[in-house]
Copies of this chain bind each other. A is one copy, B any other.
C-alpha cells in the first residue's frame, strides 16, 4: 500500500484505494452532495481503512480558508474574559471553526506582535477586546481585509465591527444607584486607563453621573491598580489610609471589589455600614461574597456568542445587519448601603434595578 513520504496516508492514497480520482475523493470529503452515493461510500470506506485524516495546511493553502479564528484578549486570567472566551469557543465550534487564543497581559506593545503572529499563522477572522488598538494592528488587519470584530465596547473603530455594551452608561447607571443611597464621597478603583478606553469610560461614566448630581469626582480618589484581588486590597489599603475617607468605593471589576471587601474586613471596617463597595461584571461569585456585592451585570457570555456569530457571518459573507448594543443591568446587593451620615436603617432592601443602555 503506497503512501506518501510522511508516512501518513494522503488523499491520493485514499483515491487510489477507492479507485476514484483525486478530485472525486476531495469532493466526497468536502461536499458529499457533489458525488454519487456509490462514490461517496467507496471513499468513506477507503478513509476508514487507511485511518486518513485531512491535512489542514494543504487545505488552507489551496483554498485560502483555515476555518479558524484568532482571539486576542488582555488576559485569560479574569473570570469575565474566561466566560466570554468559553462562550466564544463553544459557538465557533458549532460553526465548524477553531479558536486560537492569546493574550497580551495589558502590555500595549505586545498586542501587535500577538496579532501579527496569529495572522501569519493563518486565521479567517479576528476578535479583539476594545476599540482602542495600535495603528499597526488596524493597518495589518485592514490591509489583509481580515474580518474583525471588537468586543466589550461600542464605539466606532477605524476598522471592523463592534459587539458590546456601553461601559460609560453602565458605570453611569451604577453610580446613580450609589448616589441614590446618599453617597457624596465616592472613590473609584480602576486598572490603568492608558490604552484602555473601557477603564476610561467607566470612570467617566461615574464622573458624569456625579456631575449631574452637582458633585465632582476627585482626581486623587481615582486609584489605579492591577485588575486583581490583590490590586483591590492594595487600593483599599491606600484609601483607608487617606486623611478624609470616601463613603463608597466603586471598583472597576468584581475582582478588584472582592479584594477591597476583604481588605475592609481585615481592618475591621464593616461593609456596608461604614463603607459601601461596588464592583463591575457580575461574575458568578459576586452574589456569594459577604456581604453580596452590588455590581453591574455585563453580558460576557452573550458577547462571546454574538461576536462568534458576527465574525463567522463576516467571514462567510452573510449579512447579519448591525448587532444592537447589548444591555447591562445594575444589580443592587448589600455591599451598597446608605451613606453613613444619612443612614436610617441597617439594611437596604434588595432592589433589582433594571437598566438598559
Contacts and interface: CB of A to CB of B under 8 A. Distances in A.
Contacts of A95: none
A140 interface: yes
Interface in A132-164: 139-140, 143-144
A270 interface: no
B143 A56 contact: no
B56 A121 contact: yes
Given A116-B53, A258-B288, A144 B76 contact: no
A302 to B, nearest CB: 15
Contacts of A102: 89, 93, 98-99
Nearest to A145: B7
Contacts of A288: 229, 258, 261-262, 289
B89 A284 contact: no
A68 interface: yes
Copies of this protein in the complex: 2
A120 B89 CA distance: 17
A120 B68 contact: no
Contact of A101 (B8, B51, B89, B117): B89
A68 B100 contact: yes
Interface stretch (A57-65, A235-243, A245-253, A337-345): A57-65
Instruction: Sort A-B residue pairs by CB-CB distance and give the 3 closest, nearest first.
Output: A57-B60, A56-B121, A56-B122
A21 interface: no
A285 interface: yes
Contact of A76 (B86, B100, B105): B86
20 contacts: A55-B122, A57-B58, A57-B60, A57-B61, A58-B61, A60-B60, A68-B100, A75-B86, A76-B85, A76-B86, A79-B79, A82-B82, A86-B103, A89-B103, A90-B105, A98-B102, A99-B100, A229-B288, A262-B288, A290-B290
B56 A8 contact: no
Contacts of A290: 289-290
A77 interface: yes
A30 interface: no
Contacts of A119: 53
A6 interface: yes
A258 B66 CA distance: 41
B68 A76 contact: no
